[in-house]
Chain A
């Protein structure tokens, strides 16, 4: 073994604690990256599972706007595209009568034979499902929620009247992964009987492996589909549902990017310090004749080794933490995303490999420059300099910070629509902030020392001094704490602002007192015929009725959500026009001579009031001017709003899938709701909602969507606190001798303890003081750049106190808590021993 290697080993062996801390520092950095990535993967997998349709693997689906269609189409499709494994589906709503009231479930009829069976494992009682009428399978989540067990008999009300279903089995996630919840799976014959849909199908699911043959089969099918039917990718069909999912994705992306930065810095910080500390040793080695290259090789090898060990540990820790944190949220996540069960956290081995590689690369990048620098200067100079300076200079960091900030600003200035540029700018600003942070914290402490110093008691004065001096050691850990806190604040503020905007919007758009709406799953035919709407209108409790019908039309090559409204004039107040003149827009719209588009539509299509839009409807292609742009958070892809007369004309239909009821003067909403329920009882798929309930439900969906950001915030806080703990432990161990000297010169243990905690508090407070404005900045970027560029949603940045100070308090608490062990450990060493030890 050569001299450098022995020197390195000796050093690491003598400073075992240092070495362990370095490894744990690296591991923490990797953990935050891997943990957030794993969380994100799980959330995505959970959502992706829900896109696969009832049984998962369907990639395309044939359905009709008009609702269930003739099942003989299946024979045609089977002949035309046997390779796509066409599978029939019959579905609709059904109410299970319970002692505690009715529960609405979705009934899904499948053909378990042949290609239909996309997922069933051998243990499913498929044969009984087929052989025995009135048998069903229920997903485990719903079964548990409703307290239904295998063998239970359910009294159900469906389109065909009352019936009894026997639950053959409760499906666990193993048996049917990705099965939606709130679903009763039955044989297709049973479904047709219960839903009075004999001879009709709701959809045909197809499975394309994207091979040329499959693509050709899809094209042939498209060309030869009977009129009224359409073939769409399942993913696209699901996307057109009203979801906040992409918002969720984009914000997850932003978070993992920030996590990568924070984690990378923790690794960098740890490794760089381990090398900088040894500048004296390197200088000695150079003086002994060790070549610069040999020294660099040694440091590189050491960095790679530590990186590898830390990377492996960090990947495991990150995964474990993610699994732990996700557990309580899995249910909620599952409930929301189309009711899919949350996918089990599937640890991709590549994620682990990536973690290790990130760690090794970052340690190498962190270790080499200081080592090279140490090796470059003549040994004598280095020996002298190393004795003086342990922290390194601020200059390069400030220069790098400036470069990052300039680059980020330029990115924002020169791009207007690119989401990636937005992300890059966000990363740039955060990086700049991290780089500047140690210097700014130092400056803040200096001000504190100058202004307050003379008035403070000894312990606090000592603390400020000591903190200033230790910045070189813990500066980047503090920067990481600041970045994590700022990220949490930023995301929290964004979500809070978003929520306020959505709440306002809901308050405005929900003008009616009671809503009757139809479950839109599987495009059942609209139930609210004009006659039924008249039944509601005839109620003495009802003053006016609005109607709505959700449609789809083709706009160029894309499918477009179109909503038709039949609005009493009072309901127009629900639309907040961002562009367009209300005085002219509404009359033109009412006459069917113009459309309104939602804000995301305007953003995605880069159109504004006055532009023209083309829509291909069953009645031909419409070319209409846009009369106005209105606020809408209901659809991220955007909606075109048309008036009822235009709908009747273009679609030759006058049925609605939702109605809003306005209470007559003096009628309580409760009474109106009861009256509406009486009329709605004719069909189990009609749900009655009071204004307040609908609003609450919408916000509940919103909150659930963003709940995973809470998980990530907590995660970031934990990791940042562990980082501070790590840095403080190293610091206090290093200073043990100093404390011993203080003790020996008569300082009490209490005084030193107080000083240590005060030191942490000062540093953390400084970091938090920086995190607050930075967090607001991140929120502003998320709102003004990321969300706008993703969805075209505008919202006002609001300073929600909880979002602002919650993470700040958490960070302070975490930092102080992280002081306990390092401080007590340092104090536990008796002065004599500490002095001898050095």
Chain B
């Protein structure tokens, strides 16, 4: 029995490490942080290796071409397709959802082989549904080595999948924004959505090159589709709802985007009711303050995009919540001010328990915005 537990522990620790590396997952969280609570040997070769040779680097601006760039960029170590959104059925019952698939390469390329397993690619998935009316949070995680029948990420047209979780892009003849199809099911929750573009593509950072620290090359290519009209079906515990709402897509790929001095990361993605879309990530420094590489963007209703730096935004925590499962204390209320744009928002979690506590721990959930504007969005909190 003892051995069994030991194995499970070891396995979990190791998976944690894979997941974290996959992750920029927790966007730019330094690996040391979430590894706390796991044993010291949990930071194995995968993380220790800073060897990025053979991989392409996100070290200069590039020109984005769509729909091509919706698909996988296998020459970079990590990449993700990160969907969050708010849904409601015809009766007004509200839901939040998250579907994220990550791609991670253990090596720059694979040798030719008759075996389909001869690949250095690993896929990780997170699927969550926040049932706001019943205050329930369903969260599922999957991990698999890439295999044509099991999991993978294709370039054009974009297709990313992990078992029966699918993200597919259907190109159109126009500007390449096209339409996204999402499908995921586990544990009594089935979600099928079609997402249509409403606000176009926002290139984050310097025309899509998003620096994550002062170190050159610690950057990613990062674009968002901040407003996607969502419509589809949700099945929850046997009941099926026709749902519609609004989603946000974040796309990033990079080879090395970590800076080990950062504490953690708060990510805000807000859709304001006047049509503006605000994204801001605060990289917390060693003292929990606003790190110098924190950045974001404000897309006005007319489509103009304004870059935001650490000095443009002020964030004050107004409330906290302590997880009964992990004992971690997360902020759960914020005052977010963008003085130059007359934005002053009170942000509140729609549901406190939107915490991931499987192989690793973070908080990602639906929030509401009030104040100078009203709106809604998603916030991700890591490193607490």
What is the bound-complex CA distance between A177 and B14, given in angstroms? 16
| A220 interface residue per 8 A CB criterion | no
A133-B118 contact in complex given A75-B150, A122-B13, C-beta closer than 8 Å: yes
**Closest A residue to B144 using CB positions:** A114
Residue A177 contacts which of B6, B42, B116, B120 (CB distance < 8 angstroms)?
B6
**How does the 8 Å CB contact mask read for A725-766 relative to B, with 1 for contact and 0 for none?**
000000000000000000000000000000000000000000
The CA-CA distance from A131 to B117 in the complex, in Å, is: 11
Q: Are B117 and A78 in contact (CB under 8 A)?
A: no
| Residues of the B chain whose Cβ atoms lie less than 8 Å from the Cβ of A346 | 2
For the complex, is A117 an interface residue (Cβ under 8 Å from B)?
yes
Q: Are B44 and A123 in contact (CB under 8 A)?
A: yes
B292 within 8 A of A: no
Contact B113 A189 (CB under 8 A): yes
Other-chain residue from B8, B45, B107, B114 in contact with A125 (beta carbon distance below 8 A)? B45
* CB-based contact B115/A188 at 8 Å: yes
Chain B binder among A192-200, A591-599, A602-610: A192-200
Kindly provide the distance from the CB of A166 to the nearest chain B CB, expressed in whole angstroms. 14
Contacts A56-B4, A82-B142; A123 near B41 (Cβ below 8 A)? yes
CA distance in complex: A133, B150 (Å)? 21
B145 nearest CB neighbor, chain A only: A113
Contacting residue for A79 out of B11, B111, B163, CB 8 A: B163
Q: Which residues of A contact B45 (CB under 8 A)?
A: 125-128
Q: How many chain B residues have a CB neighbour from A under 8 Å?
A: 43
Q: Shortest beta-carbon distance, B268 to chain A, in Å?
A: 32
Check if B46 is an interface residue, CB within 8 A of chain A: yes
- Is A188 a contact of B117 with CB atoms below 8 Å? yes
* CB-based contact B10/A187 at 8 Å: no
- In the complex, whether B63 has a CB less than 8 A from a CB of chain A is no
A114-B145, A188-B115, A189-B117 given; A78·B150 CB < 8 A: yes
Least CB separation from B38: chain A residue? A122
Rounded to whole angstroms, the CA-CA distance of A706 and B331 in the bound complex is 64
Q: Within 8 Å of chain B (Cβ to Cβ): is A72? A: yes
What's the nearest-Cβ distance from chain B to residue A111, in Å? 6
Q: Give complex CA distance A201, B144 in Å.
A: 16
Query: Distance in Å from the Cβ of B359 to the closest Cβ of chain A?
Result: 11
Q: Could you tell me if A122 and B7 are in contact, using CB atoms closer than 8 angstroms?
A: no
Is residue A121 contacting chain B, with contact meaning CB distance below 8 A?
A: yes
**A130 CA to B122 CA, complexed, in Å:** 11
| In-complex Cβ contact of B14 among A126, A128, A343 (8 A) | A126
What 0/1 pattern do residues 1 to 20 of B give for CB contact below 8 A with A?
01110111011011101100
Known pairs A75-B149, A113-B143, A113-B145; A122 contacts B114 (CB<8 A):
no
Determine if A563 is an interface residue (Cβ-Cβ < 8 Å).
no
Select one of B7, B11, B39, B111 contacting A133, CB under 8 A: B111
A253 within 8 A of B: no
For window 261-299 of chain B, which residues contact chain A by CB distance below 8 Å? Answer: none
A119-B10, A188-B117, A189-B118 known; A131+B107 contact, CB < 8 A: yes
Query: Once the chains are docked, how many angstroms separate the CA of A122 from the CA of B44?
Result: 6
Contact with B along A70-82 (1 / 0, CB 8 A): 0110110011001
Which residue of A is nearest B18, CB measured? A113
Given A133-B111, A177-B6, A198-B114, the answer on whether A118 and B145 have CB atoms closer than 8 Å is: no
Question: Interface size class for chain A?
Answer: 35 or more
Residue of B nearest to A130 (CB): B106
A57 within 8 A of B: yes
B191 to chain A, nearest CB (A): 16
Query: Which of chain B's residues have a CB closer than 8 A to the CB of A121?
Result: 6-7, 10, 14, 41
A475 within 8 A of B: no
A817 sits at the interface (CB 8 A): no
Chain A residues near B143: list those with CB within 8 A.
Answer: 113-115
Cβ-defined partner of A192 (8 Å) among B46, B117, B122: B117
Q: Which residue of B lies closest to A56 (CB)?
A: B7
Measured in the bound complex, the distance between the Cα atoms of B146 and A188 in whole Å is: 12
Chain A 606-639 near chain B by CB (<8 Å), digits 1 or 0: 0000000000000000000000000000000000
A120 in contact (CB, < 8 A): yes
Interface assignment of A318: CB less than 8 Å from any CB of chain B: no
Q: Are B145 and A82 in contact (CB under 8 A)?
A: no
A762 CA / B182 CA spacing, docked (Å): 90
Q: Are B113 and A177 in contact (CB under 8 A)?
A: no
Q: Is B206 an interface residue (CB 8 A)?
A: no
Inter-chain contact A56/B3, CB cutoff 8 Å? yes
A742 to B164, CA, bound (A): 95
Interfacial residues of chain A within 158-213, with CB under 8 A of chain B in the complex: 177-178, 187-189, 192-193, 198-199
Please indicate the chain B residues that have their CB under 8 angstroms from the CB of A114 in the complex: 15, 142-145
A78 cross-chain contacts in B, Cβ below 8 A: 144, 150, 163
**B186 interface hit (Cβ, 8 Å):** yes
**Chain B residues within an 8 Å CB radius of A111:** 117, 145
Nearest CB in chain A to that of B108: its residue: A131
Chain A residues within 8 Å of B18, by CB: 113
Q: Is the CB of B163 within 8 A of A120?
A: no
Contacts of A120 in B (CB 8 A): 10-11, 14
**How far in angstroms is the closest Cβ of chain A from B301?**
43
Query: Could you tell me the distance between the alpha carbons of A130 and B45 in the complex, rounded to whole angstroms?
Result: 12
Nearest A residue (CB) for B48: A127
Q: Which residues of A contact B11 (CB under 8 A)?
A: 117-120
Which residues of chain B are near A128, meaning CB under 8 Å?
45
Question: What residues of chain B lie closer than 8 Å to A192, measured between beta carbons?
Answer: 113-115, 117
What is the minimal beta-carbon distance from A735 to any residue of chain B, in angstroms? Answer: 51
Contact indicator per residue, chain A 95-120, by CB within 8 Å of chain B (1) or not (0): 00000000000000001011111111
Which of A74, A125, A177, A187 makes the CB contact (< 8 A) with B3? Answer: A177
> Which residue, A55, A82, A122, has most C-beta atoms of chain B within 10 A?
A122
Docked CA distance A130–B14 (Å): 15
- Collect the chain A residues with CB atoms within 8 Å of residue B118's CB: 133, 189, 193
Shortest CB–CB separation between residue B376 and chain A, in angstroms?
Answer: 31
In angstroms, Cα B258 to Cα A502, docked, is 67
Chain A residue numbers with a CB within 8 Å of B119 are 189
CB neighbors of B among A363-409 (8 A): none
Contact A122 B14 (CB under 8 A): yes
CA distance A40 to B45 in the complex (A): 40
Q: Are B144 and A193 in contact (CB under 8 A)?
A: no
A131 engages B113 (CB within 8 Å): no
Point out the residues of chain B lying under 8 angstroms from A133, CB to CB: 111, 113, 118
A122:B42 contact, CB within 8 angstroms:
yes
Q: Give the residues from 52 to 79 in chain A that come closer than 8 angstroms, CB to CB, to chain B.
A: 55-57, 71-72, 74-75, 78-79
- Chain A: which residue is nearest B11 at the CB level? A117
Docked CA distance A199–B114 (Å)? 8
Q: Given A82-B186, A127-B45, do A178 and B3 touch, yes or no (CB 8 Å)?
A: yes
Chain A residue numbers with a CB within 8 Å of B107 are: 131
Q: B146 — nearest CB in chain A belongs to which residue?
A: A113
CA distance A592 to B17 in the complex (A): 59
* Across-interface contacts of A49 in B (CB, < 8 A): 3
Residues on the A chain within 8 Å of B4, using CB: 56-57
Is there contact, CB below 8 Å, between B144 and A119? no
**Cβ–Cβ contact A193 & B113, under 8 A:** yes
- B151 smallest CB distance to A (angstroms): 9
- Residues of B contacting A119 in the complex (Cβ-Cβ under 8 angstroms): 7, 10-11
Within 8 A of A (CB), among B124-156: 142-145, 147, 149-150
The 4 A-B residue pairs whose C-beta atoms are closest, nearest first, are A198-B114, A189-B117, A192-B115, A75-B149
Q: A residues bordering B, Cβ < 8 Å? A: 49, 55-57, 71-72, 74-75, 78-79, 82, 111, 113-123, 125-128, 130-131, 133, 177-178, 187-189, 192-193, 198-199, 343, 346
Please list 10 pairs of residues, one from A and one from B, whose beta carbons are closer than 8 Å in the complex, sorted by A's number.
A49-B3, A79-B163, A114-B142, A114-B143, A122-B39, A122-B42, A126-B45, A131-B107, A189-B117, A192-B117
Q: What 11 additional pairs, Cβ within 8 angstroms, besides A72-B149, A127-B44, A198-B113? A: A49-B3, A56-B7, A57-B8, A75-B163, A79-B164, A82-B163, A117-B11, A119-B7, A120-B11, A122-B39, A127-B106
